[in-house]
Structure formats: C-alpha cells, structure tokens
C-alpha cells in the first residue's frame, strides 16, 4: 500500500482501478479499501500538496494555478464569442484542495428531480442519509454565536469526514448586509443553516474547516490520510489515465502515462473487478471518448474505434453562471476584506492565525447566502416559468451534437419539463452572497442552457490534448430573463437602507446602463461569467433513451465493469456549491459498489 511515483512497486493487477484522485476518487477508493481483501489503485495526475496556501482558509480564495487545470472554452456563441476559463483541481483531493470551502446542500426538489428523470433511489430522503453520513458539524463557541449571530442546526449531520463549521471571524460589513436582507427586504433568516432540503431564505452556511486547527479539510485530509497506510490501497501520483481498455464490451483495465508525456512510459494496468472513472466532469468524458465510448459521429471524426455509441458522453454540461456587478464602498473605511491587501494588516492576521488559529485567516468567503425563488423576484413568475418549455427551436440554442442524436433532445426536453415544474412550484433558483468589498455576488443556480465537452485530438494528455469545452451559457432565453431579474434585484438590494452607510457606488456596468436591452448586451459582452467552478453533467445518470450515460447504479451503458463516480453523473446541477452533494453521491456510490461486490 501507499504512495507511488513510478510503476516499480505496483501490484500486477487490482480489483478496482480508479482514474482521478480528487473528491470522488478518494471517497470511493477509501470506502472500497475498507474491506482488507479488496485491492484498490487510484491514479492521479497531480501530487500531494502540503503548503500553507491550501491549508489556510483565507488563502483558499487565492488561486494556486500550479495545482489547477485552467481549461479555456471555445468562443461562446451567446456571450459575444468570448473565451471563458474553467478552473479545476489538479492535485490529490482535486477540487477540494483548492476550492472556496463552502459547504452547501441541494434542496429537496433538486434531488427528487433526478428520480423524475429516471434514476430510482436518488430522492432527497435517500441522499439526505448520505449528506449525513459524509459530514459532521461542529457547534461554534457561545462567544462566537453571541458575537456574530450564527444560526445552525446540528440535525442532518453525522460523524463523517467532511466537517462543517464557521470561521471565528466575520468582516464587519457583513452585518449591514444581513440587515439589508432581513430588516429592509423582509426575507426570513433560516434557523437551520439550509441543511434540511428547504433553502428559501437567508442562512449561514458552513465551511469545510477543521474545527481545532482551523485549516482546510479536503477529501485527502478527511478520507485518504486516515486510510493511507492500508496495505490494499495504492495511489499512483504524477500519472494519468489515457483510456479504458475493453474486451468484448467489458472494461479490463486502463492505460496509464506519466504526467509529463503522452507518448512514452505507457503501461496497462488490469482491473479484476471494475474500472471507476472519477476524473471530474471535463476529463471523465475525455477518457470515455478516447476509449471509444461516446457519440459515434465524434469518434469517427478522430478515427477512434467505436466500442459503444453513447451520444450523451460530453453533452449536458452545466455550471452556475455568475453575473458580475462591481461596487466600490466610499464609507466607512476600512471594515471589509479589502484590508487584507494591506501588507501590515495581512501580516498581523497571519501572525494571529499561526499563534491562536483566530482572525481573518480563518475565513475563506462570507458564510451568509440568500437563495430565492422566481416568485421572490418577480410578479410575472408564472408566465416566465411557462417560457421554460416554450421554445420554438430548442436545437438552435443547443450544442451541435444535439442535432445529430434525437435522444439528446428528448433528454433535454424531459429536463426542461422537470425544471419548469420545480420553478413553478417555488423552488429556489437564485443564489446571492455578500462578497465583502465587492458587493453582492449573484449566481443562476438552475440553468436551462447546456454545454458540451469534446476531444479535440487523440492526444490523451489532459493538458496537451485538452478538450473543446463549450459552456453553452446564456443560450436559453429563460436564463437571460432570470439574469436580468437578478441584476435588477442586486441593484435594489444595494440601495437598501442598511447599506447606505457603506456608501456603495456601482462601478461596472455603472448606473448609466439602465434599459433592459442595454443590460442584456453588457451581460453578454462582459458581465456574465459562465462558471462558478461547478461543472457537472457530462456523463449523466439518466436512461439511455434520454441520452444518459450511466444507469442508477452509475454503470456505463453497454460496458460491463465500468462506472463513473464524479460530478459528470449529476443529471441536473443542484442549487448548491457542488462539493457537499458530491461527497454524498460518492458515499452512496461506494455503498452501491460494495453491495454488488458482496453478491459476487
Ligand atoms: C477553484 C474552485 C473553487 C470551488 N469552490 C467550491 C466551494 O466553495 N464549495 C463547493 O462546494 N464546491 C466548490 N468547488 C467545486 C468542488 O470542488 C467540485 O465540485 C468537486 O471537487 C468535484 O469533484 P469530482 O470528484 O467530480 O472532481 P475533482 O475533485 O475535480 O477530481 C478530479 C481529479 O481527477 C484528476 N484527473 C483529471 N484527469 C485525470 C486523468 N486523465 N487521469 C488521472 N487523474 C485525472 C484531477 O487532477 C483531479 O484530482 C470549487 C472548485 C474549484 C476548482
């Protein structure tokens, strides 16, 4: 067992070979290796990182580009052909080693929708068990509760490796921002931290922070480290999976290369039971397509032998898009996050953290969110919700692959009708977070637009052979109207009474931009960022006839011994930052795999 940086001490085969040592790969690898007779290999292109930058929560928000993929997009058709960029973790722990540490759960309707789209066993009641199993909440001290007014519920948490608690510091400008929500705008402050399936309102959401050391807990710290000395669990770092090898429609192992090469140093590692793809929503479809599992039209173009024509591989891409409006605060100064750019203040904060584990370094991002429904933002909610399914030519707003494969369009229509139902029935879809020193950040958490991920060559290297990524963002007219509502709402919020004393000034786009069509034009040209680092959906768990890639047990259609366990399987993106839902899904996946293994 242990950490490997070359092939010399690997076993000749493993029961399970897992591609990707990010969130899902580590959860599944750790759980499967709990049975001492089961051998597991995790292959991860990145390496372990033990620097302060990833451990100290405040620094979580400063990106470590050496630990990430920076995946550019193709020119985005509905965003004036701008090029977007997707950041992804490229290190042991994947996204959880570099992410913003927000712990937030999906709402009941988000998970029930997966069942409505044809995957029994994934409803809220079921997934709630795994939200519970994967996590643990630590109650903040009475002093902090009194000082900041933290509200939370411990019900809904178990004793799992993903911690949730609060920093022991909040920037003072958060409090007028909270007053603006509650006193001025009249939204309720939820007492339950939004952990129980109902998200409407304003609440304190937790952070994945170790409650004693106040440092980041990644999937590596929470899951892998405690299991790292198991003799049956190996991790090969600095290497990547280039393809899945199949024989007679059965996965028999993978091809592995060193991270610095796509031509030399390849070996094939056999899997006795299963290959599990956990390389994330961009690289899992890449591996599948290079293995001959994907849309035949695409595979033929690159002369990849078709092993299974599965059009959904790479389609159905979803992320949360963010509408950026920037502010400056003229008064009173300094009481916000901006202070950290002052060297003296920063150094004092670092010294305080190192000495006492207190102060601004314990806080990655603000903990307060408001999540609102369409009816919260407009009186015309019914008409607007009706427009979700009322498209004259859906293919004109979808990536071209949808045109060649009718089941993709069927699946998309099924999704829109489920989404319309949720949104008409008051599900939350807008997310607002006070970004200290930056004003109110807002995200569209239930997008109707869809993107796609496709190989651009047969080079298997995740960086050199990088995929074509089309975010597809801002394509569906409903998303545009929703963004316009969020934009206007943000302006209203920023002028509320409690925020007056901060003297907010809208800098971009500025108050000169007022007419709806001008706002929309600025959104397309500049304000909309097509990602909040939450890519999902590219190997969706849906029926094959709806363009799905995996069944409700996460098995790839048509290939025995091959599963996907990562954010690619989410058929619809939840109303949540994706780590907590991913931990829950990966825990459930491990139980499914183990359950089947027992029957062998
Ligand atoms: C900058 C950033 C900020 C974020 N902020 C938050 C947040 O505040 N809260 C939240 O809930 N979520 C956040 N997320 C999202 C969250 O971290 C992800 O949803 C989650 O990590 C996805 O898990 P995964 O298992 O699908 O993929 P990942 O965790 O990304 O793991 C995939 C792993 O596969 C490896 N890999 C890729 N290709 C190959 C290959 N061919 N062979 C071998 N290995 C490969 C990668 O290096 C990576 O380690 C953020 C993500 C990022 C990148």
Q: What is the ipTM of this complex?
A: 0.99
Task: Report pLDDT digits (tens) over 527-582.
Answer: 999 999 999 999 999 999 999 999 999 999 999 999 999 999 999 999 999 999 99
Q: Confirm or reject: Cβ of 377 under 6 Å from ligand 1.
A: no
* Residues in a beta bridge with 446: none
Residue 358: inside a domain: no
Angle value at C-alpha 481, between 475 and 484, nearest 5 degrees = 115
Q: Confirm or reject: Cβ of 275 under 6 Å from ligand 1.
A: no
Q: Confirm or reject: Cβ of 89 under 6 Å from ligand 1.
A: yes
- pLDDT reported for residue 598: 46
Q: How far is the CA of 93 from the centre of ligand 1 (A)?
A: 8
Task: Report pLDDT digits (tens) over 160-204.
Answer: 999 999 999 999 999 999 999 999 999 989 999 999 999 999 999
Q: What is the domain extent for residue 112?
A: 2-138+215-317+534-599
Q: How far is the CA of 326 from the centre of ligand 1 (A)?
A: 27
Q: Ligand 1: which residue has its CA nearest to atom 9?
A: 102
Q: Ligand 1: which residue has its CA nearest to atom 40?
A: 240
Is the model's pLDDT at 353 over the cut of 60? yes
Residue 368: inside a domain: no
Atom of ligand 1 nearest to the CA of 287: 41
Q: Out of 31, 275, 280, give the residue to mutate to test ligand 1, the one with the largest number of ligand atoms within 8 Å of its CB.
A: 280
Q: How far is the CA of 129 from the centre of ligand 1 (A)?
A: 23
Residue 202: inside a domain: no
List, in order, residues 6 or more apart from 560 with CB less than 8 Å away. 249, 250, 251
- pLDDT reported for residue 334: 59
Q: Out of 4, 18, 19, 22, give the residue to mutate to test ligand 1, the one with the largest number of ligand atoms within 8 Å of its CB.
A: 22
- pLDDT reported for residue 63: 78
- Closest by CA to 189, choosing from 152, 146, 156, 164, is 152
Residue 557: inside a domain: yes
CATH at 131: 3.50.50.60
- Domains in the chain, number: 1
Q: Confirm or reject: Cβ of 44 under 6 Å from ligand 1.
A: yes
**Span 347-355, average pLDDT:** 97
**Span 52-78, average pLDDT:** 93
Question: pLDDT averaged over the chain?
Answer: 96
- pLDDT reported for residue 287: 98
Would you call 210 exposed, middle or buried from its count of C-beta atoms within 10 A (0-12, 13-18, 19+)? middle
Task: Report pLDDT digits (tens) over 225-255.
Answer: 999 999 999 999 999 999 999 999 999 999 9
If pLDDT is split at 50, 70 and 90, which confidence band does 62 have? confident
Q: Ligand 1: which residue has its CA nearest to atom 21?
A: 95
Q: Ligand 1: which residue has its CA nearest to atom 35?
A: 20
Q: Confirm or reject: Cβ of 22 under 6 Å from ligand 1.
A: yes
If pLDDT is split at 50, 70 and 90, which confidence band does 262 have? confident
Long-range contact set of residues 171-175: C-beta below 8 Å, sequence gap at least 24: 171/335, 171/336, 171/337, 171/360, 171/363, 171/366, 171/436, 171/437, 172/335, 172/336, 173/329, 173/335, 173/336, 173/434, 173/436, 173/437, 173/502, 174/366, 174/368, 174/434, 174/436
Q: Confirm or reject: Cβ of 509 under 6 Å from ligand 1.
A: no
How many Cβ atoms sit within 10 Å of the Cβ of residue 495? 13
List, in order, residues 6 or more apart from 512 with CB less than 8 Å away. none
List, in order, residues 6 or more apart from 478 with CB less than 8 Å away. 384, 387, 388, 448
- pLDDT reported for residue 436: 84
Task: Report pLDDT digits (tens) over 288-345.
Answer: 999 999 999 999 999 999 999 999 999 999 999 999 999 999 886 657 898 999 999 9
- Closest by CA to 97, choosing from 59, 161, 57, 54, is 54
The lowest-confidence range among 43-52, 61-70, 457-466 is 61-70
Would you call 458 exposed, middle or buried from its count of C-beta atoms within 10 A (0-12, 13-18, 19+)? middle
- Closest by CA to 117, choosing from 390, 346, 344, 418, is 418
- pLDDT reported for residue 333: 62
Q: Confirm or reject: Cβ of 43 under 6 Å from ligand 1.
A: yes
Distance between CA atoms of residues 530 and 508, nearest Å: 17
Residue 471: inside a domain: no
Residue 501: inside a domain: no
Residue 380: inside a domain: no
CA 405: distance to chain centroid? 27
Strand locations in 238-325 (E) = 239-247, 250-258, 267-277, 293-294, 308-309, 321-323
Is the model's pLDDT at 599 over the cut of 60? no
Q: Ligand 1: which residue has its CA nearest to atom 1?
A: 99
Residue 249: inside a domain: yes
Q: How far is the CA of 98 from the centre of ligand 1 (A)?
A: 8
**Span 147-154, average pLDDT:** 94
Is the model's pLDDT at 411 over the cut of 90? yes
- pLDDT reported for residue 600: 39
């Amino acid at each position: 067992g242990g950490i490997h940086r070359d092939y010399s001490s690997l076993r000749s085969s493993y029961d399970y070979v897992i591609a990707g040592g990010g969130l899902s790969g580590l959860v599944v690898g750790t759980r499967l290796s709990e049975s001492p007779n089961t051998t597991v290999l995790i292959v991860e292109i990145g390496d372990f990182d033990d620097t302060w930058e990833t451990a100290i929560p405040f620094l979580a928000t400063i990106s470590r580009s050496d630990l990430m993929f920076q995946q550019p997009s193709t020119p985005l058709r509905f965003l004036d052909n701008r090029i977007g960029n997707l950041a992804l973790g490229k290190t042991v722990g994947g996204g959880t080693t570099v992410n913003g540490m927000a712990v937030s759960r999906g709402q009941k309707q988000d998970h029930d929708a997966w069942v409505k789209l044809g995957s029994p066993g994934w409803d809220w009641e079921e997934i709630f068990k795994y939200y519970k199993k994967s996590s643990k909440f630590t109650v903040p001290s009475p002093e902090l509760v009194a000082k900041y007014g933290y509200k939370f519920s411990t019900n809904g948490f178990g004793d799992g490796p993903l911690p949730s608690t609060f920093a022991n510091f909040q920037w003072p400008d958060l409090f007028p921002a909270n007053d603006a929500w509650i006193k001025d705008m009249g939204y309720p402050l939820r007492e339950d931290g939004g952990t129980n399936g109902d998200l409407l309102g304003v609440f304190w959401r937790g952070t994945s922070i170790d409650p004693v050391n106040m440092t980041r807990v990644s999937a590596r710290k929470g899951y892998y480290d405690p299991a790292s000395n198991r003799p049956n669990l190996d991790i090969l770092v600095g290497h990547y999976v280039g393809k899945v090898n199949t024989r007679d429609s059965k996965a028999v192992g993978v091809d592995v290369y060193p991270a610095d090469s796509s031509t030399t140093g390849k070996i094939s590692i056999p899997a006795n039971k299963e290959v599990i793809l956990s390389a994330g929503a961009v690289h899992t479809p890449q591996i599948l397509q290079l293995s001959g599992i994907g849309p035949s039209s695409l595979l033929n173009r690159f002369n990849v032998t078709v092993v299974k024509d599965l059009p959904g591989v790479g389609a159905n891409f979803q992320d949360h898009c963010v509408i950026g409006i920037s502010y400056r605060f003229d008064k009173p100064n300094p009481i916000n996050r901006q202070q950290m750019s002052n060297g003296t203040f920063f150094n004092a904060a670092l010294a305080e953290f190192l000495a006492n584990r207190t102060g601004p370094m314990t806080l990655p991002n603000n903990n307060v969110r408001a999540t609102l429904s369409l009816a919260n933002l407009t009186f015309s909610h019914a008409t607007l919700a009706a427009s979700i399914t009322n498209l004259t030519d859906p293919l004109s707003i979808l990536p071209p692959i949808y045109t060649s494969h009718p089941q993709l369009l069927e699946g998309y229509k099924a999704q829109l009708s489920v989404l319309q139902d949720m949104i008409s029935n008051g599900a939350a879809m807008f997310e607002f977070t006070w970004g200290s020193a930056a004003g109110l950040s807002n995200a569209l958490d239930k997008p109707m637009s869809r993107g796609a991920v496709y190989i651009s060559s047969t080079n298997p290297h995740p960086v050199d052979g990088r995929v074509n990524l089309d975010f597809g963002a801002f394509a569906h007219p409903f998303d545009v109207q929703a963004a316009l509502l969020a934009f206007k709402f943000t302006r209203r919020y920023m002028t509320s009474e409690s925020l007056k004393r901060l003297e907010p000034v809208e800098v971009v786009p500025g108050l000169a931009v007022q007419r709806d069509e001008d706002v929309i034009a600025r959104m397309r040209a500049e304000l909309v960022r097509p990602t909040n680092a939450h890519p999902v959906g590219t190997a969706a768990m849906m029926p094959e006839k709806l363009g799905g890639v995996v069944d409700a047990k996460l098995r790839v259609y048509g290939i025995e011994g091959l599963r996907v366990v990562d954010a690619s399987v989410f058929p619809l993106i939840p109303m949540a930052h994706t780590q907590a839902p991913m931990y829950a899904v990966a825990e459930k996946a491990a139980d499914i795999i183990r359950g089947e293994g027992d029957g062998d």
